[in-house]
Amino acid sequence: MELIRKYFDGLSPQQITHFENLEDLYKDWNLKINVVSRKDIDELYLRHVLHSLGIAKVQKFNPDSHILDVGTGGGFPGIPMAILFPEVNFHLVDSIGKKMKVVEEAVAGLGLKNVKTTNDRVENVDGHYDFIISRAVAAMPTFVRWTKGKIAKKSNHELKNGILYLKGGDLSEELADYQTAKIYELTDYFEEDFFETKKVVHLPLKYKG
């Protein structure tokens, strides 16, 4: 938890409580349904929570904006981001039922009122969103295809509406066809070695009505 406070000051008492409760919630659920590896559960705040919050270093979300988390898995990056931005609407989607069960229980356990969950393929989800966030669930061309037609028309943030994607490694080949994509190195924001190859990719997408 100190790791989160190191990089995010001004957290409310409720936000601090939510972040503190994440570890016990995930450790408890991980005994029943293995959604996070044993190594990762021991470093939950570094490898999952802070990593998820890297998106917030690239773009802070305005109140009442709508964010879609695709392939949320155990609730990352959506749940940490929903704690950080309590006035933002988050929609967490995953096609794997057992993972969504953990997400639903975590959301209920934390009492998060700004999170909606859907157990389905993202192609079947209706709605338009300011940003679509995710953690490396597919190569960018596949991810763009999955999320086609889900970007809101009006842009209300510093960055244009589109995808904010947590990725790692060399992305030159994967992003070759996306000239408007911009890569943000997480080492510019976090000093831990874990982030050495970690990035946030912003890919602006046009509204398609």
Residue 19 lies in a domain: yes
Residue 27 lies in a domain: yes
For the stretch 148-194, pLDDT in tens is: 999 999 999 999 999 999 999 999 999 999 999 999 999 999 999 99
Residue 40 lies in a domain: yes
Residue 177 lies in a domain: yes
CA atoms of 191 and 78, how far apart (whole Å): 23
**Host domain of residue 61:** 1-204
Share of the chain above pLDDT 90, in %: 86
Mean pLDDT over residues 50-75, rounded? Answer: 97
Residue 136 lies in a domain: yes
Residue 54 lies in a domain: yes
The DSSP secondary structure of the chain, one letter per residue, reads: -HHHHHH--S--HHHHHHHHHHHHHHHHHHHHS--S-HHHHHTHIIIIIIHHHHHHHH-PPPTT-EEEEET-TTTTTHHHHHHH-TTSEEEEEES-HHHHHHHHHHHHHHT-SSEEEEES-GGG----BSEEEEESSS-HHHHHHHTTT-B-SS--SSSPSEEEEEEES--TTTTTT-TT-EEEEGGGT--SGGGTTEEEEEEE-----
Q: 54 labelled as ligand-binding? A: no
Tally the domains of the chain: 1
Residue 209 lies in a domain: no
Mean pLDDT over residues 125-147, rounded? Answer: 95
Q: How confident is the model at residue 29 (pLDDT cuts 50, 70, 90)?
A: confident
39 has pLDDT over 90? no
Residue 140 lies in a domain: yes
Find the CATH number of the domain harbouring 17: 3.40.50.150
Task: Between 111 and 26, name the one with better pLDDT.
Answer: 111
- What sign for the dihedral angle of Cα 146, 65, 191, 42? negative
For the stretch 73-123, pLDDT in tens is: 999 999 999 999 999 999 999 999 998 999 999 999 999 999 999 999 999
Q: 76 labelled as ligand-binding? A: yes
127 has pLDDT over 90? yes
Q: 122 labelled as ligand-binding? A: yes
